[in-house]
Amino acid sequence: MQEKNKSVGIIGIGSYVPDKIITNKDLEKIVETSDEWIVDRTGIKERRVVEPNITTSDLAAYAAEKALCDAGVTADDIDLIIVATATPDMLFPSTACLVQDKIKASKAAAFDLSAGCSGFAYGLVVGSQFIQTGLYKKVLVIGAETLSKILDWTDRNTCVLFGDGAGAVVLGEVPAGYGILGVDLGADGSGGELLKIPAGGSRQPATVESVTARQHFLQMSGSDVFKFAIKVMGEAAIKALDNAGLSNEDIDCLIPHQANNRIIQSAAKRLKVPMEKVVVNVDKYGNTSAASIPLAMDEAIKNDKLQNGDIVVLVGFGAGLTWASCVMKWYKEGKSIV
């Protein structure tokens, strides 16, 4: 088991989703698809979409303010802001810097983290290191996406899958034995071509031709990504549990990346976790990439599904290809300790 200098956990959480809802019935009017087809293959019934003038940094700031309030701290208390996103406001400056300004966290360092849908779990692990070593005391980790802005709404294979939203947590020191107990991070860059936006970077700068060819929209080899996810979700969770000195029998709550109901069910089956212990909200929000795990976690807390002392497993996969899992012994100040 990895030695740690301090116990680090989530001391505050908040989330935000846009008001606008696009249902499967709405999508039937845009592309050749059906509500039955989407629900059967993904479990998604609706998703949230931002208005044109709203950016990823806006959603991130809204979620961050809620997390700060929940933690009982102010923006001045934050030492570092990490924003995990695949849809930054722009290539630079970082979305984290824009959030820093919006929430007035003038004392905080800030950077973005790019790990696709694994980004939030990656951010938790990275952020916790700064606290464990004693360099920082409070770290704000945000997963935020406006995926609707990078979707090809003529591609029925991708436009039905994704939605917009943001989730944020404040990391801080928690009592010994609680907080983050074990992690597993990984990547397989050979699968990078399976989930990408081809143009807009140094390989293929934006041109009239690249825009006309719709190369600035998300492209995905769905069947290949599905096979990868089925394999890696259970493996990553098991490795993090091993790192924590625990087993799948210890899991009280599983919070997976909300990409697809079949993938979630497969991970639960691999881990032998009954579905009543699994948090699922993909039906309401679709795949919100880096925002999906904190959105699901915030919902679980609001529904009183997390109790102090519970063993919680977070696990996701994403572009890169990447995967990340994190095992925590849940602790929230103000609740009795089990």
Active site residues: 117, 257, 287
From the list 10, 21, 66, the residue with the least C-alpha distance to 283 is: 21
C-alpha angle 196-202-207 in degrees, rounded to nearest 5: 85
Q: How far is residue 234's CA from residue 206's CA, in Å, rounded to a whole number?
A: 38
Q: Helical H runs in the chain?
A: 24-28, 35-42, 56-71, 95-103, 119-132, 208-212, 222-243, 261-271, 282-285, 292-302
From the list 140, 155, 295, 128, the residue with the least C-alpha distance to 215 is: 155
From the list 7, 3, 2, 6, the residue with the least C-alpha distance to 337 is: 7
Pairing of strands 109-113, 80-84: parallel
- Dihedral angle, C-alpha 61, 332, 301, 148, nearest 10 °: 20
Q: How far is residue 154's CA from residue 189's CA, in Å, rounded to a whole number?
A: 28
Q: Are 71 and 101 in contact (CB under 8 A)?
A: no
